[in-house]
Amino acid sequence: MKKRIEKMRGEFTVALQAAAVPEDAEKVRVAFLGKKGALTEVLKGMKDLTPDERREVGALSNALKDEFERMLATRAAELGRGEIEKKLAAEWEDISWPSGLSRGAAHPIAVIRRRVKEIFVSMGFEVLDGPEMEEEVNNFDKLNIPPDHPARDAQDTFWLDNGMLLRTHTSPVQVRGMLSHTPPFKFIAPGKVYRNEAVDASHEHTFHQIEGMVVDRNISVAHLIYSMKTLLTGIFEKEVEVRLRPGFFPFVEPGFELDIKCLICGGKGCSVCKQSGWLELMPCGMVHPVVLRNGGIDTEEFSGFAFGLGLERLVMMKYGIDDIRLFHGADLRFFTQF
Amino acid sequence: MLLSLSWIREYVDLEGITPEDIVKRLALSTAEIESARWVGRHFEQVRAARIEKIEKHPNAEKIRLATIFDGKDRATVVCGAPNIEEGQVVPYAPLGTVLPGDFEIKPVKIRGVESCGMLCSAKELGLGEDHSGILQLDRKMELGTPLSTICGGADFVIEIENKTVNHRPDLWGHYGYARELRTIFNRPWKKKLEFTGVRPDKKEEELAIEFATDKALHYIGVKMSGVKVGPSPDWLRARIEAIGHRSINNIVDITNFVMFETGHPLHAFDRRNIAGSTIVVRNAAPGEKFTTLDGIERVLIDRDIVIADKDKAVALGGVMGGLHSEVEPDTTEIVIESALFDPATIRRTANRLDLRTDAAQRFEKAMWVENSWLAVQRCIELIKEFVPGAVVTSEAAHRDASGKYGFTGSISTSCDRIRAMLGVRRDDLPDARIEGILMLLDFEVKRDGDRLVIPVPPHRRSKDVSLEADIVEEVGRIHGYDNIMPRAPLFPMTPPPRNGLLDKEERLREILVREFGACEIMTYSFLSDNEHAAFPLPENEAVRAPSLKETPWLRHTLTPGMLKALAVNHRQYERFTLFEFGRVFRRGGENRRLAVLIRDDSDIFRTTKRIVEAFMAELKVPTFQFERAKKESVPFHEDVALHPGRGALVRAMGKLVGMCGEVHPALLEQWDVRGRAGIMEFDIDLLGSLPAKSEKYKPIPRFPATFFELTVLTPERTESAAVGAVAYKTIDKKIFSGCEVVSSYKGPGVPEGQMSLSLRVTLAAPDRTLTSDEMKQAQEALIAAFAKQGWPLKGA
């Protein structure tokens, strides 16, 4: 009996070595360890043995069964690895083949607008919106632009046949914002604006602004300068140097032109900044008392500042775009770049 | 507007301040500078020299060698001019001279002979257009004299960006800039202009002024006799030419000089051409013809103002004099006019006639009466000084209707208020500095305890200064905005209200870009006649911008813009998706829309539908359906835009929010595009206003669902939704959990005009596992219901 068991080990080893694929190893398992397998038969025949013999053969054959199972597992792993290797040898990808993913893009104006919005919202500003087709009174009168002002001429403003106009700036949202809010408040208002201009590489009749307005107690020019610096540092993601010059706009007093140190030459003077080292970026100022009063605000208690940021200018500077017509040009060779 | 720095220096002592500093400070405190440059520096270097000898050039026919002597040195100059002769005194530019146009004289060999400097023509010196020969100087002139003694010295010319001083009538003459610079640099006056009065030397005539229009505000007329018209003295010609103007004659140049000095335009009439003694300011008669100084006959309208005598107009008020009343060489008596008109009227006339003269430019800004008087005084002073024998022979006749213009009151403020509005500390801007700035600007400052009471001086009251904030600006700009330390405003820590609609717009943009690879574009808000006509709108709803001749219609749909964009790109790219967020307009108002255009050749409707479903999922719209367009209303012009069999309207929560589908082939043809495309247009105001589904967890069913499949034959174009509806109606609601169309098929094996639809019906109960009997019952009931519709089981 013991001999038979010993012999079985030899037979098993040979059979297992001969297995070429995982299925062969399985057949070997069935032949020895299956329901009618050789080792199983041995165990079945143990009932005819004496208790001593039974103990001895039982221990032997159980040890052998464990050994067979270990050997089977090892062999199966070997054979399996072979299978994987075969598969690996047969399979290959051209990693340079395009994925077929078509990349979309938001309009560059929308990208900057979102960035500016994020900066202001993080500083606690509300985002307002106003109509593009406006009343004359909101676009001009309430902003302290007198009836004879040249801006009202048809050569500057698109007048509509329903007596309204296409807003020439986002400033009418100041009026709407003041009337719908109780001070103190602070908001921005991005939007499309229109001027009756001949279109060329640097002029557009349709463009975008972001209006901003802060009304609170004791708002000063120092606050305005701080806020503009913070905004521009956020947009350009680096410290920018700014300066204020006097600028005249009927709805602010004092009014300013805000310049930033030329980003192209760093202030040394180049063709972009016309050798001045500075780029004119946005008009801003302390809200004119007449405008505040038109918005129902008590000028004894409150003051405020406002600004109008031209987005096209900013985008053109950021990406080095030299033709403003591209923004409304619908050419995908341009838009897929953002 | 050009300014001559040497002219400004006549009024104010700017000794020791560089032109560069002046430009910089002027830009930061006063006005934008367009450009600034040296002119005439070469006049210091170019000098008078006598030609001593002329020899032939050894290697050339047409050029000669001139030996010149400048009183100190001799030099040989190669010269090609035909007019040189020995003994002439000519302008000699030695080596190192820089002539206009940045042309530096360097030693050069001309045909093998070295030239040490250059003899100059008038043109080369920037003194005119004459380039026919070398400029001839007076032979008696002392050799070596620099040209600056006759042409004026070097000057620094500053060009002001006019539009930045539109609100400052006081900054349209050199004197105003002198006042600014004196304040900025805190320097004393060298010559302060003060009005002392206009008095006749003898009264020969009494002039009368009559206003027949309310657009005349002020008028002064004064007569001078004994005038002799001739060329201007050198200094005057130099001043006029330095700022880019042409010298005409002494009288005209003096009136212009005074305009560029004070900012106030003057006009001189030949007395002979004014009939009678009354000068009338009136509106032009409609269609009245008038020939201006430039010789052009103008047709006037009744909003124009003319200056007239009893018979005829003699000047186009505030804009230009008349050809037939100008000062002639033989003029001996003149009438000097100094007036004020309604600024807007002058602007309109000047714009309409495209005649934006120096005078019109200034009158548009609202000049002030005091300056008008000062200008007359200055003009008389100068004429008397430079035209011997000229005398004033009338009283200064005048009429004043300027009462309602300008702010004549005082402004009350305090130094603390000014500092608070600027945001500066007392140490940085003490009271004395504030008052000092204002006084240097010729504001009178009266102290009343802590209050400052500031009457607005005439030169600032006509347009510009009337409020406390204006005073803050005066102090701030001179103090220097650069000297204000930025300070963070303090705000309470409250989150701002969100703008729900704009947030949703951002989310939809994100989906289109990230999930559908779409590119955002922007198209104009304007449509051409053809584009407008393709999407008909009732006449009374369309809005027009008449000044846009080519594209006069405000868009009422975004679709035409998208089709145009398709036409721009379809030759370049095979497949792409574009979108635009934009407003559309109707007479009653505007609303926000979103349009998406898909360029592809197959499965277009499904693609658009997928996008719609992505939107609805993102916005968590509780219910929405796709439905076929009906004829009665076409909110999105879907009848024109969509392929009739391959498009849908989208209804969400009962409202029509948009359309989607394949573009109507007729439209593609109109926009000259081959192949196919998809279009969607959505009302973002509506879509954004829909409520969102409540987000609540539903327990996962405890008992497994079970399903069966069926294939039925239906007529072609039976919508799967109709099939699902039958299942929904037939099967017990308690166990029906869904009916899905797995596939549809037309072709061999299916009769003509029919199609087969394979369905999978899912059943489940919340409280038990369904038995096979229950399933069988449901299946049989459904088969019977389909049979009733005339939809047999396939193969049955």
d(CA B393, CA A232): 65
Are A329 and B546 an interchain contact pair (Cβ–Cβ within 8 Å)? no
My answer on whether omega of the bond before A254 falls inside 30° of 0, hence cis, is yes
Give all strands of the β-sheet with B655-663 in edge-to-edge order.
B519-520, B576-586, B589-599, B677-683, B655-663, B642-652, B624-627
- Residue in A221, A275, A291 to test binding to B, most B beta-carbons within 10 Å: A221
Nearest C-alpha of chain A: how many angstroms from B377?
A: 32
DSSP state of B162: G
How far is C-alpha B643 from the geometric centre of its chain's CA atoms?
A: 44
pLDDT tier for residue A39 given thresholds of 50, 70 and 90: confident
Cβ neighbours of A225 in B, within 8 Å: 481, 484, 486-487
d(CA B573, CA B588): 39
State mean pLDDT over B467-492: 94
Q: Do the strands B103-104 and B108-110 form a parallel or antiparallel pair, or are they unpaired?
A: unpaired
d(CA B758, CA B753): 17
Instruction: State the Rg of chain B over Cα.
Output: 43
Share of chain A above pLDDT 90, in %: 49
Q: What is the model's pLDDT at position A8? A: 84
State mean pLDDT over B353-366: 93
Sign of the Cα torsion B22, B23, B28, B31 reads: positive
d(CA B437, CA B428): 14
d(CA A284, CA B775): 74
Q: Are B474 and B441 in contact (CB under 8 A)?
A: yes
Cβ neighbours of A153 in B, within 8 Å: 351
Q: Which of A196, A230, A333 sits opposite B547 (nearest CB)?
A: A196
User: Which residue, among B1, B790, B739, has the nearest Cα to B357 in the 3D structure?
Assistant: B1
Q: Which of A129, A225, A246 sits opposite B486 (nearest CB)?
A: A225
User: CB neighbours (10 Å) of residue B305?
Assistant: 28
Q: What is the model's pLDDT at position B404? A: 67
- Residue in B421, B572, B590 to test binding to A, most A beta-carbons within 10 Å: B421
Q: What is the model's pLDDT at position A83? A: 82
d(CA A63, CA A60): 5
Average pLDDT, chain A: 89
User: CB neighbours (10 Å) of residue B480?
Assistant: 14
Q: Which is more confidently placed, A82 or B666?
A: B666
Would the pLDDT of B301 be above 80?
yes
Nearest C-alpha of chain B: how many angstroms from A94?
A: 24
Task: Note the ipTM here.
Answer: 0.84
Q: What is the model's pLDDT at position A36? A: 83
**Domain spanning B706-789: which CATH class is it, in words?**
alpha beta
Q: State the residue for tokens 């591209």.
A: A326
User: Which residue, among B254, B256, B262, has the nearest Cα to B232 in the 3D structure?
Assistant: B254
> Partners of B769 in the beta sheet?
none
A196-216 pLDDT tens trace: 989 988 889 999 999 999 999
Average pLDDT, chain B: 92
Nearest C-alpha of chain B: how many angstroms from A329?
A: 7
Q: Are B56 and B63 in contact (CB under 8 A)?
A: no
State mean pLDDT over B301-329: 93
pLDDT tier for residue A11 given thresholds of 50, 70 and 90: confident
Are B421 and A286 an interchain contact pair (Cβ–Cβ within 8 Å)? yes
d(CA A75, CA A83): 12
Are A255 and B473 an interchain contact pair (Cβ–Cβ within 8 Å)? yes
Determine the topology of domain B2-40+155-185 in CATH: Phenylalanyl-tRNA Synthetase; Chain B, domain 1 (3.30.56)
Cβ neighbours of B519 in A, within 8 Å: 104-105, 332, 335-336
pLDDT tier for residue A15 given thresholds of 50, 70 and 90: confident
State mean pLDDT over B31-42: 88
Share of chain A above pLDDT 70, in %: 100
**Tokens matching residue B488:** 């963070």
State mean pLDDT over B540-551: 92
pTM tops 0.95, yes or no = no
End-to-end, the C-alpha distance of chain A in Å comes to: 83
Q: Which is more confidently placed, A64 or B597?
A: B597
B530 exposed, middle or buried (CB, 10 Å; 0-12, 13-18, 19+)?
exposed
User: Which residue, among B445, B451, B259, has the nearest Cα to B358 in the 3D structure?
Assistant: B259
Q: Are B159 and B352 in contact (CB under 8 A)?
A: no
Determine the topology of domain A108-335 in CATH: BirA Bifunctional Protein; domain 2 (3.30.930)
Please state which of the ranges A184-188, B15-19, B139-143 shows the lowest mean pLDDT. B139-143
SS3 B329: coil
B719-733 pLDDT tens trace: 988 999 999 999 999
State mean pLDDT over B38-61: 88
Show Cβ contacts of residue B503 under 8 Å, excluding neighbours closer than 6 positions: none
For B709, how many CA atoms within 13 A lie in the half-sphere containing its CB? 7
Rounded to the nearest 10°, the torsion over CA B45, B47, B51, B57 is 20
Share of chain B above pLDDT 70, in %: 99
Are A225 and B481 an interchain contact pair (Cβ–Cβ within 8 Å)? yes
User: Which residue, among A314, A140, A243, has the nearest Cα to B28 in the 3D structure?
Assistant: A243
pLDDT tier for residue B796 given thresholds of 50, 70 and 90: low
Please state which of the ranges B141-150, B603-612, B675-684 shows the lowest mean pLDDT. B141-150
Please state which of the ranges A56-60, A87-91, B752-756 shows the lowest mean pLDDT. A56-60
CATH of the domain spanning B501-689: 3.30.930.10
Show Cβ contacts of residue A181 under 8 Å, excluding neighbours closer than 6 positions: A187
Q: What is the model's pLDDT at position A298? A: 96
Are B497 and A153 an interchain contact pair (Cβ–Cβ within 8 Å)? no
User: Which residue, among B522, B663, B672, has the nearest Cα to B597 in the 3D structure?
Assistant: B663
My answer on whether omega of the bond before A184 falls inside 30° of 0, hence cis, is yes
Q: Are B593 and B584 in contact (CB under 8 A)?
A: yes
Would the pLDDT of B695 be above 80?
yes
Cβ neighbours of A288 in B, within 8 Å: 469
Q: Which of A106, A184, A330 sits opposite B564 (nearest CB)?
A: A330
Cβ neighbours of A107 in B, within 8 Å: 520-522
Please state which of the ranges A36-45, B164-173, B674-683, B746-755 shows the lowest mean pLDDT. A36-45
Would the pLDDT of A311 be above 80?
yes
Are A206 and B525 an interchain contact pair (Cβ–Cβ within 8 Å)? yes
SS3 B721: helix
Would the pLDDT of B5 be above 70?
yes
B636 exposed, middle or buried (CB, 10 Å; 0-12, 13-18, 19+)?
buried
Question: Searching chain B, which residue's CA lies closest to the CA of residue A300?
Answer: B417
Are B28 and A243 an interchain contact pair (Cβ–Cβ within 8 Å)? yes
Question: Searching chain B, which residue's CA lies closest to the CA of residue A304?
Answer: B421
CATH of the domain spanning B208-400: 3.50.40.10
User: CB neighbours (10 Å) of residue B44?
Assistant: 15
Nearest C-alpha of chain B: how many angstroms from A93?
A: 25
DSSP state of B46: -
> Partners of B104 in the beta sheet?
B98
Are B524 and A289 an interchain contact pair (Cβ–Cβ within 8 Å)? no
Q: Which of B30, B487, B543 sits opposite A160 (nearest CB)?
A: B543
**Tokens matching residue B593:** 């829309």
Nearest C-alpha of chain B: how many angstroms from A184?
A: 9
Q: What is the model's pLDDT at position A152? A: 85
Q: State the residue for tokens 């062969």.
A: A24
Q: What is the model's pLDDT at position B362? A: 95
d(CA B595, CA B258): 62
3-state per-residue secondary structure call for A215-231: EECCCCHHHHHHHHHHH
User: CB neighbours (10 Å) of residue A268?
Assistant: 11
A109-140 pLDDT tens trace: 999 999 999 999 998 999 999 999 999 999 99
Architecture of the domain spanning B41-151: Beta Barrel (2.40)
Look at chain B and count its residues: 796
How far is C-alpha B378 from the geometric centre of its chain's CA atoms?
A: 37
Q: State the residue for tokens 């948009």.
A: B658
Tell me if domain B410-478 and domain B501-689 are identical in fold. Answer: no
Domain positions in chain A = 2-90, 108-335
Cβ neighbours of A223 in B, within 8 Å: 423, 487-489
Would the pLDDT of B632 be above 80?
no
Q: Which residues of A106-140 are buried (b: 16+ CB within 10 A; e: fewer)?
A: bbbbbbbbbebbebbbebebbbbebbbbbbbebbb
Are B481 and A303 an interchain contact pair (Cβ–Cβ within 8 Å)? no
State mean pLDDT over B336-363: 94
Q: State the residue for tokens 């000898």.
A: B53
Q: Do the strands B208-211 and B313-316 form a parallel or antiparallel pair, or are they unpaired?
A: unpaired
How far is C-alpha A9 from the geometric centre of its chain's CA atoms?
A: 67
Q: What are phi and psi of B214, to 5 degrees?
A: -85, 5
Q: Are B93 and B78 in contact (CB under 8 A)?
A: no
Domain positions in chain B = 2-40+155-185, 41-151, 208-400, 410-478, 501-689, 706-789
User: CB neighbours (10 Å) of residue B578?
Assistant: 26
Cβ neighbours of A247 in B, within 8 Å: 164
B186-231 pLDDT tens trace: 999 999 999 999 999 999 999 999 999 999 999 999 999 999 999 9
Size of interface A-B (CB pairs under 8 A): 207
Q: Are B487 and B424 in contact (CB under 8 A)?
A: no
Sign of the Cα torsion B337, B343, B348, B353 reads: positive
Q: Are B3 and B128 in contact (CB under 8 A)?
A: no
- What angle, rounded to 10 degrees, do the helices at B720-730 and B772-789 form? 130
d(CA A100, CA B123): 67
- Residue in A123, A159, A231, A248 to test binding to B, most B beta-carbons within 10 Å: A248
Q: State the residue for tokens 């002027």.
A: B26
pLDDT tier for residue A82 given thresholds of 50, 70 and 90: confident
User: Which residue, among B398, B402, B356, B357, has the nearest Cα to B375 in the 3D structure?
Assistant: B398
pLDDT tier for residue A98 given thresholds of 50, 70 and 90: confident
Nearest C-alpha of chain B: how many angstroms from A128?
A: 7
With vertex at residue B479, the alpha carbon angle to CA B478 and CA B481, rounded to the nearest 5 degrees, is 95
A207-246 pLDDT tens trace: 999 999 999 999 999 999 999 998 888 888 888 888 999 9
**Tokens matching residue B214:** 């309310």
Would the pLDDT of A272 be above 80?
no
Q: What is the model's pLDDT at position B211? A: 95
> Partners of B659 in the beta sheet?
B649, B681
